[in-house]
Amino acid sequence: MIRQEKMTVVAQAEIATNIFELTLQGELVQDMTPGQFVHVKVSDSFEPLLRRPISIADVDKEKNEFTMIYRAEGRGSQVLATNREGQLVDVLGPIGNGFPVEAVEPGQTALLVGGGIGVPPLHELSKQLNAHGVKTIHVLGFQTADVAFYDEQFASLGETFYATVDGSKGIKGFVTTVFDEVKPEFDVFYSCGPLPMLRALEQYYPDKEGYLSFEERMGCGIGACFACVCKTTDAVEKDYVKVCSDGPVFPKGVVAL
Ligand SMILES: Cc1cc2nc3c(=O)[nH]c(=O)nc-3n(C[C@H](O)[C@H](O)[C@H](O)COP(=O)(O)OP(=O)(O)OC[C@H]3O[C@@H](n4cnc5c(N)ncnc54)[C@H](O)[C@@H]3O)c2cc1C
Ligand code: FES
């Protein structure tokens, strides 16, 4: 159930260039599943008015804490980056349908493919898949090495390959360059990142079962404003879906890419 809560800042740190890790504590954490997101009000004033959607990157239900990782680029996220330990942050969530962990059987292998600020939700997903007895392979794409994060966390969960546009970390190129070179063997793929990456992934593995998470622009975040609608393919009955309430995760082949 989606609820609103003033959550307490446990820690905030810059973990890569302009990339922040923010840990919050509160009751909402008990309902969180991987691939869901929260809608964050970045300041108490009317400016900026709209909430910002951010993925759930790590969940610790025992401590009632969750972590998000975000790029402080625009107005709202820069305000969010000024929050310090002990301050309260207004959070709406958890929102949306996350990644189906049960889509892959214990003993099978999942390929997790992330690009830039699409990488954070794959961390909690990988944790849950590993707990479910699934082997995970991670292929993570970034612009450059200085904006990459969570190296150790991903390495502790499974084999991890990197692609950067300038070759400063891992293979020079895109995640598809890694597929060409490494030829990963897997049963199901899960992905979150920019649209061209999701499109390439669908085309690359047409015969594999896969799930894609979309980071569309949003308004209300709760299905009421139509800001996040995406056209669907001919394979589905509906003409469009709302990323906030129907997604953000969809099986491959649902959203027209
Ligand atoms: C489901 C979902 C999960 C996301 N998870 C993450 C995450 O884990 N880490 C992260 O860094 N970013 C994530 N994003 C993208 C993030 O929401 C935007 O980068 C952020 O809202 C931009 O806000 P700003 O204040 O920096 O920019 P501004 O330019 O000030 O934002 C202006 C308006 O545009 C919207 N907007 C701008 N860019 C985007 C975008 N790419 N996607 C959605 N709305 C946008 C903002 O919500 C705001 O209403 C996610 C987006 C969605 C939809
Ligand atoms: S953001 Fe308002 S309907 Fe999705």
Instruction: Render the burial of 113-130: b for 16+ CB within 10 Å, e for the rest.
Output: bbbbbbbbbbbbbbbbbe
The pLDDT tens digits of the residues spanning 98-117 come to 999 999 999 999 999 999 99
What pTM was estimated for this model as a whole? 0.95
Select the more confidently predicted residue: 46 or 159.
159
Of 151, 149, 201, 199, the residue nearest 175 (C-alpha): 201
227 burial class (0-12, 13-18, 19+ CB within 10 angstroms)?
middle
Distance between CA 114 and CA 197 in Å, rounded? 9
Q: Compute the distance between CA of residue 1 and CA of residue 8 in angstroms, rounded to an integer.
A: 20
Question: Which ligand is closest in space to the CA of residue 96?
Answer: 1
Cβ–Cβ under 8 Å, residues 21 and 15: yes
Cβ–Cβ under 8 Å, residues 208 and 110: no
- Atom index in ligand 1 nearest the CA of residue 244 equals 1
Whose C-alpha lies nearest to ligand 1, atom 47? 52
- pLDDT tens-digit profile of 166-211? 999 999 999 999 999 999 999 999 999 999 999 999 999 999 999 9
Q: Which burial class, exposed, middle or buried, applies to 69 when counting CB atoms under 10 A from its CB (0-12, 13-18, 19+)?
A: buried
pLDDT tens sequence across 75-87: 999 999 999 999 9
Q: Are 127 and 157 in contact (CB under 8 A)?
A: yes
Distance from residue 217's CA to the centre of ligand 1 (Å): 6
Q: Which of 46-50, 131-135, 184-188 has the lowest mean pLDDT?
A: 46-50
Give, for ligand 2, the residue of 217, 222, 230, 241 to mutate: max count of ligand atoms closer than 8 Å to Cβ.
Answer: 222
Expressed in angstroms and rounded, the spacing between residue 93 Cα and the centre of ligand 2 is 14
| Ligand 1 pocket check for 54: Cβ under 6 Å | yes
Q: Where are the beta strands (DSSP E) in 72-208?
A: 88-95, 109-115, 135-142, 158-164, 171-172, 188-192
- Give the three-state DSSP class for 118: helix
The CA 33 to ligand 2 mean position distance, Å, reads 20
163: β partners: 141, 171
Rounded to whole angstroms, how far apart are CA atoms 156 and 19? Answer: 21
